[in-house]
């Protein structure tokens, strides 16, 4: 395998820093999940849905779907932006199947935009391989530098 070019090395460093940022967010202590970024414009989250996230009818509450879909799309978009933290400005989601306990994969993909506003989409796949939801988000560059955020810094 050929050695990485400086640009590839910088991109890989950015991806690992985004993964650390995700892990360091206080809200993520509430969820068994992990982020993987392997290439620009794509992010993959593995979530473990547990009964403590159920609504009264015994399946995952919609807030869990939103969290997974938003995070996957957000991090896919933030692979494009290397200097600023993005903010979700809108998000549309569609539920297609209830999910109970088990592993769920959230796949995010950047769609368009590179300057101020970016669009990304995401989908959820349950442990049976079925799509259980999908969403599209709009994300805006903030004034918050990534480099100043705890977790984004190098270990």
Domain boundaries, position 73: 6-148
Q: Return the pLDDT at 150.
A: 87
Q: Return the pLDDT at 1.
A: 47
Whether pLDDT at 24 is above 50: yes
Q: Return the pLDDT at 148.
A: 92
Any domain includes 83:
yes
Work out the average pLDDT over 80-84.
Answer: 96
Domain count, the chain: 1
Which pLDDT tens digit goes with each residue over 88-128?
999 999 999 999 899 999 999 999 999 899 999 999 999 99
Any domain includes 25:
yes
**What are the b/e assignments for 79-106, b being 16+ CB within 10 Å?**
bbbeebbbebeebebebeebbeeeebbb
Which pLDDT tens digit goes with each residue over 48-77?
999 999 999 999 999 999 999 999 999 999
């Amino acid at each position: 395998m050929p050695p990485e070019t400086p640009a590839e090395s910088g991109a890989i460093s950015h991806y690992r820093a985004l993964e650390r940022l995700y892990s360091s967010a206080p809200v993520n202590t509430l969820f068994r999940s992990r982020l993987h970024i392997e290439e620009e414009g794509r992010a993959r989250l593995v979530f473990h849905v547990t009964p403590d996230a159920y609504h009264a009818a015994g399946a995952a509450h919609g807030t869990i779907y939103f969290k997974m879909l938003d995070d996957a799309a957000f991090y896919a978009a933030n692979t494009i932006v290397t200097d600023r933290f993005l903010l979700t400005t809108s998000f549309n989601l569609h539920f297609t199947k209830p999910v109970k306990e088990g592993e769920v994969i959230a796949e995010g993909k950047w769609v368009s935009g590179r300057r101020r506003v970016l669009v990304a989409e995401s989908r959820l796949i349950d442990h049976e391989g079925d799509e259980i939801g999908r969403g599209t988000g709009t994300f805006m560059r903030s004034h918050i530098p990534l480099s100043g955020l705890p977790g984004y810094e190098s270990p």
